[in-house]
Structure 1
């Protein structure tokens, strides 16, 4: 749960996994016997040397999303998989939002709340900027403006819609988790703010 007052905000950070695993690439065959309830649970080890992923992999929910991640260059894929796992861990720490679902939106991996109480988060790497990747938020919200105030030194900002990361640099996981939590509870928090605002008495 997020509490904001005078642009101050706190969030209980999701548990940080400690185990380092070899980076896994999803098996894209959804007819595979290892596939359960429509989630991709079959994996093979990425043969690229030096690839690693911190934490257990959350299974993909669709072949389209799995294929999108498989299409990224190895370094970009590793970084985006780390962002993806932060999204899942953050959502699991927020039962009040009712869980998230993973889809492609505008061709990019997207994470939105099933209950529609949040604002969708997207992530992507693009060939026109091969040295970086980004986490995208709805530009019609004040989310990125808030992040710019709270975390001026943690991110590179792209207008009012994105946090930009450089490949090879450490992801500020706790700050990213806060930003994702703010998005996943965006409409819920706005509703709470409206209901708690003092009412003007009529004459």
Structure 2
């Protein structure tokens, strides 16, 4: 399959493009899968709003600057066989994930690890990504439901 066909959403800058195109093909595929899910969630939920993608600490990071609904998500290569989803360590996102999905390799503080050779658990990761992308709106959503 053509690499460009995996790019459902335009890359924002030369720096981000360079980062992705320097990954191994397997790692690139996993990063694109996660990236596509983040953008799809953004498009399907106006509370999340527009995603800003940039490099933070030299790694692809996803923010919600207009709505401020979410906490930053970062994707990083650990080594040739493993990568990680990072969440802000000052949030409860990773702890919640470790409780809700104990079968996932989560440190409970800020990181969720994956092997490049395994299939990503889409439905579980969608829940995890939503937790991060809507982190700052949770209390608002809860208070609306109880009014």
Flag whether TM exceeds 0.5 (same fold): yes
* Alpha-carbon distance in structure 2 between the residues aligned to 1:186 and 1:120: 10
* Alpha-carbon distance in structure 1 between the residues aligned to 2:2 and 2:84: 20
* Alpha-carbon distance in structure 1 between the residues aligned to 2:100 and 2:43: 23
Higher-Rg structure is 1
Q: Does 1:121 align with 2:73?
A: yes
CA RMSD of aligned residues (A): 2.1
* 1:157 positional shift: 1.0
* 1:182 positional shift: 1.1
Aligned pairs (5 A) from 1:17-166: 22-24=1-3, 43=4, 53=6, 57-114=8-65, 115-126=67-78, 129-153=79-103, 155-166=104-115
Using a 3 Å threshold, how does the CA distance of structure 1 residues 186 and 180 change in structure 2: closer, same or farther?
Answer: same
* 1:194 positional shift: 6.2
Contact 2:97 2:108 in 1 (8 A): no
* 1:191 positional shift: 3.8
Contact 1:91 1:181 in 2 (8 A): no
Aligned pairs (5 A) from 1:176-191: 176-191=125-140
Number of aligned residues:
146
* 1:190 positional shift: 2.9
Gaps of 5+ in 1: 1-21, 25-42, 46-52, 199-203
